[in-house]
Structure 1
Amino acid sequence: MRTLRNLLLFILSFLIITNWNIAKAKTNPPTVSAEGAILMDATTGEILFQKNINKPFPPASTTKIMTALLAFENTKLDDVVVVGKKPPFADGSKIYIFEGENIIVKDLLYALLLESANDTAEALAEHISGSVEEFSKLMNKRAKELGCENTNFVNPSGLYDGKHRTSAKDLALIMRELVKYPEYIEIATSLSYKIDPTNKSKEGRPLWNKNKLIQKYSSYYYDGIEGGKTGYTVQSQHSYVASAQRNGHRLVAALIYDKNKTYFEDTINLFNYGFNNFSLIKMFKKGDVVTEYNEKNLNIKLKASEDFYYIKEKTSSDNAIFTLENKDLSSQSFIKDEKVLNASIFYKDKDLGTLPLLSDSDHIIKADATAQAMSKFSKTTVTILSILITLITIASIIIVRNRKLRL
């Protein structure tokens, strides 16, 4: 009996230790082979995994997500692009477009994102900005607007250039913006597409998506994937950027300068790490009553001016809290839906930012009301006096002229 009992205790202990290790492993971030890598929550911008996220590398064809973003922002999908002289001679991957060929933006975007066509990247660049050089300036301007700090683009395709650089974090910021376009997701998750014959091509052009995470027959298929873009040159090595969404929670992963070409499995591990260990919490919805202000006989409700989200660890029992700005509202006049206070929000002593709060009612101090009335009266008086002065001046001029005529 003692032997049996010891055996059972051993088995039980083994199971407890094994289960504990598995649970612990879920909270451990994965390893990735890329030199730069990031996992970002798309809603809040919070970084859930990082590795050299600000170090610039040559991004190869992941550059094309910026080209696609600018196409969505500056064109319509049915706009007709007339191909210029230079795009047909672009180096690298291409669908062999012709000078003078009429192709709609939608078809060029499919070729850009599915076949990674450099000739269509240049055609879009010239259509939007007139030249590759001017388009590169637009790329860098937009990158700065998105918060990119380690990016310098010199072409729309990602062909290697010693000055063409970006970082894992900057790639994630660009993808975070691009994935807001449903049209992008539709294109990026298409297995195939066919460009119809054009004025310069009698044959249609079939296109195939090289992104294995969207291929349902692939062992790399990932449920919730919204699209992604690969990149490779000899000098740039491999790179990849993608987004995925589950139950309203969207994550963006970016890997850059991967010598081992493990970006598909590494991205899957990053997404699993994010979805398994973190939750997106909607703390306040726009218009929700956050709190009440009760000071010096002033009683008003304060509402959220916008939605506020934060990321919470699934194993944590802590919730975000907020503190109100120390401000006396009783001595101020304001109207309904005016911003009157800020709430500072914290999670585990981490500052998540501020949420402006709106008043749910008017609060007009009598002195202010009187001052406003006097101000209106003064303005009216000034206006009337101005009109009278103008009329008197005109009358004086007429009288003087009449006297001169009599003389």
Structure 2
Amino acid sequence: MKKNTLVFFIFFLNFIFINCTTINAKTLKPPSVSADGAILMDAQTGKVLYEKNINSPYPPASTTKIMTALLTLENCNLDDEVVVGKKPPLADGSKIFIFEGEKLKVKDLLYALLLESANDTAEALAEHISGSIEDFAKLMNKRAKELGCTNTNFVNPSGLYHDKHRTTAQDLALIMREVSKYEDYRKISNTITYKIKPTNKSKEERPLWNKNKLVQQNSQYYFQGCNGGKTGYTTQSQHSYVVSANRNNFKLIAVLLHDSKKTFFEDSVNLLNYGFNNFELVKMYSRGDIVTKYSKEDLNLNLIACNDFYYVKEKNNNSKATLNLGNKNLNSVDFHKGDVILNAEILLDNNNLGTLNLSSDCDHQVSSFGINSGNKLILFTIFIVLFLILMIFIIKIRKKLKKKKQYRKYFY
């Protein structure tokens, strides 16, 4: 009876272990989205947590305006005055009906750009910054390349359909990653309503309303932590959407392009929940941290992190990232305190998460004779060996001389 009980107990423990292992080994199942191109990206590291045709170019419609907003914030002050030219009032599509010669602040034009998706204000900002739509498009493409965009070509600042106006989910995420660093962008993009005061050409206030349902608390799609988003639509481009959200300093960006079913709000909420529920951001090192000690032969020093290092991992992954310093010998290298002397690999489950620059906390100089702390022991050993050889040679010479003296004494 006791034997049967023991066998049953062992079988039960094995059953529990196997099932727990199976549960832990399950891969995460991401949500499905109707858009043809989609991405979920961590804004801190750029790690892609979900992807669907992320490098396929699509017409982005008014999500283009986040690049226009970025260039405006980089090149203008919010209180700068813009005098509207001839062309912006003639812009097609959505607009707030600005007038030629009207004087508006950059801030007001940005609110209209991001809340009402106004094409006329997009063109007014473009002309204010670059002088013409064509030159502004060149600036847009130049900045896109600087951000790492590889499959993007902008033709206009508004996103009006053009067969050569294209971007990808990944490229748009990179642009959103940059513009969302600006507090002014986050403030404007999260504003529900705004009024442009009367101007020299308009006696009436212009009320503006935010079209992003993820920031509207009375919406079924309201998402706590959302700190900016932009919708887009044209008949040829279909629906598009880009959004960012932040929870506990873990910031995610979702992009949906060419959505014919208009489920982008629901799909973006599902993507963001998938990211926040299943992943976490880990800060491994802060700038200035002593990462480890380097000790080789008689060289001893602290290796200091030159920058913060973050990585993203699945919440159910209990593995810890490790540091690989490589095999570089620092004994033969001159360096000063604060110099970058090593590039360490950060590994998680044998996957390379990136590199961390490491600096020294002290100076080190190799002798002008080439004798450094690393080869002193070798030179000392060589000296001892040569000394012993010399002593043996001297002893042998003395023995020979002694024999010769004895020989002469014997015969003479």
> What's the TM-score bracket when you normalise by the shorter of the two chains?
0.7 to 0.9
2:397 counterpart residue number: none
- How far the C-alpha of 1:367 sits from its partner, in A, is 2.2
The question of whether the paired residues in 1 share the 8 Å contact of 2:68 and 2:140 is answered with yes
- Give the aligned partner of residue 206 of structure 2: 205
Distance apart, 1:365 and its partner CA: 3.1
Aligned partners of 1:269, 1:257: CA distance in 2, in Å? 18
**Distance between the aligned counterparts of 1:108 and 1:191, measured in 2?**
16
Partner of 2:215 in structure 1?
214
Secondary structure in 2 matching 1:85: coil
Structure 2 counterpart of 1:343: 344
Match of residue 284 from structure 2: 283
Residue 228 (structure 2) aligns with:
227
Q: Using the TM superposition, give the Cα deviation of residue 27 of structure 1 relative to its aligned residue in structure 2, in angstroms.
A: 2.9
Alignment of 1:174 onto 2:168: no
Q: 1:134 to 1:347 in 2, by over 3 A?
A: same
Q: Distance in 1 between matches of 2:58 and 2:283?
A: 35
Using structure 1 for the length normalisation, give the TM-score.
0.84
1:6-405 equivalence runs, <5 A: 27-367=28-368
Tell me the distance in 2 between the aligned counterparts of 1:195 and 1:21: 59
Q: Which residue identity is paired with 2:324?
A: T
CA deviation string 1:261-304 (max 9, x = no partner): 00001000000000001000001100111111101200000010
Quick one: distance in 2 between partners of 1:137 and 1:210? 29
* Root mean square deviation, CA, Å: 2.0
The code of the aligned residue for 1:250 comes to K
Q: CA deviation at 1:364?
A: 2.4
> Does the 8 Å contact 1:300/1:360 carry over to 2?
yes
Shift of the 107–369 alpha-carbon distance from structure 1 to 2, 3 Å rule, reads farther
SS in 1 for 2:65: helix
Paired with 2:89 and 2:25, the residues of 1 have a C-alpha distance of 54
Q: Which amino acid is the alignment partner of residue 146 of structure 2? A: E
Q: Work out the CA distance in 2 between the residues paired with 1:24 and 1:219.
A: 34
SS in structure 2 at match of 1:144:
helix
- Count of aligned pairs: 352
Quote the offset at 1:224 in angstroms. Answer: 0.2
Distance in 2, matches of 1:57 and 1:73, equals 26
Deviates more, 1:191-200 or 1:26-35: 26-35
Structure 1 residue aligned with 2:399: none
Question: Quick one: distance in 2 between partners of 1:51 and 1:79?
Answer: 41
SS in 2 for 1:66: helix
Match of 1:374 in 2: none
Once the 2 structures are TM-superposed, how far is the Cα of residue 325 of structure 1 from its aligned partner? 2.8
Q: In structure 1, how many angstroms separate the alpha carbons of the residues matched to 2:326 and 2:126?
A: 48
1:22 CA drift (Å): 11
Letter in 2 for 1:31: S
Q: CA deviation at 1:348?
A: 1.6
Relative to structure 1, the CA distance from residue 368 to residue 303 in structure 2 (aligned partners, 3 Å threshold; closer, same or farther) is farther
**How far does the alpha carbon of each residue in 1:230-251 deviate from its partner, in whole angstroms, 9 at most, with x for none?**
0000000000000000000000
Instruction: Say whether the 8 Å CA contact 2:111–2:194 is kept in structure 1.
Output: yes
Following superposition, the deviation at residue 331 of structure 1 comes to 1.8
* Equivalent position amino acid for 2:184 in 1: E
For residues 229 and 367 of structure 2, the distance between their equivalents in structure 1, rounded to whole angstroms, comes to 60
For residues 368 and 93 of structure 1, the distance between their equivalents in structure 2, rounded to whole angstroms, comes to: 75
Matched letter for residue 161 of structure 2: Y
Contact kept? 1:26, 1:276, Cα under 8 Å: no
Contact 1:333/1:368, CA 8 A, preserved across alignment: no
Quickly say closer, same or farther: Cα 1:368–1:57, change in 2 above 3 A: farther
Name which one, 1 or 2, has greater alpha-carbon Rg. Answer: 2
Question: What TM-score do the two structures reach when normalised by structure 2?
Answer: 0.83
In structure 2, runs of 5+ residues without a counterpart are 1-19, 372-412
What CA distance in whole angstroms lies between the structure 2 residues aligned with 1:342 and 1:161? 45
Q: What secondary structure is seen at the aligned counterpart in 1 of 2:347?
A: strand
Residue by residue over 1:41-63, the C-alpha shift from the partner in whole angstroms, topping out at 9 and shown as x without a partner, is 00000000000000001110000
Runs of 4+ residues deviating >4 angstroms: 19-26
- 1:149-206 deviation line (CA, Å, top 9, x unaligned): 1110000000000110011111101000010001001000000000011111111100
- Take 1:24 and 1:337, find their aligned partners in 2: how far apart are those partners? 43
Report how far residue 352 of structure 1 moved: 1.3
Q: Secondary structure at the match of 1:367?
A: coil
Tell me, in whole angstroms, the C-alpha distance in 2 between the residues paired with 1:222 and 1:128: 34
Mapped partners of 2:132, 2:236: distance in 1: 25
Cα distance change on mapping 1:22 and 1:81 into 2, 3 Å: farther
Identity of aligned residues (%): 64
Per the TM alignment, residue 330 of structure 1 is displaced from its structure 2 partner at its CA by 1.4
Inter-partner Cα distance in structure 2 for 1:240 and 1:23: 34
**Aligned pair in 2 of structure 1 residues 269, 98: CA closer, same or farther (>3 Å)?**
same
Conservation of the 8 A alpha-carbon contact between 2:24 and 2:316: no
Distance 1:303 1:347 in 2: 21
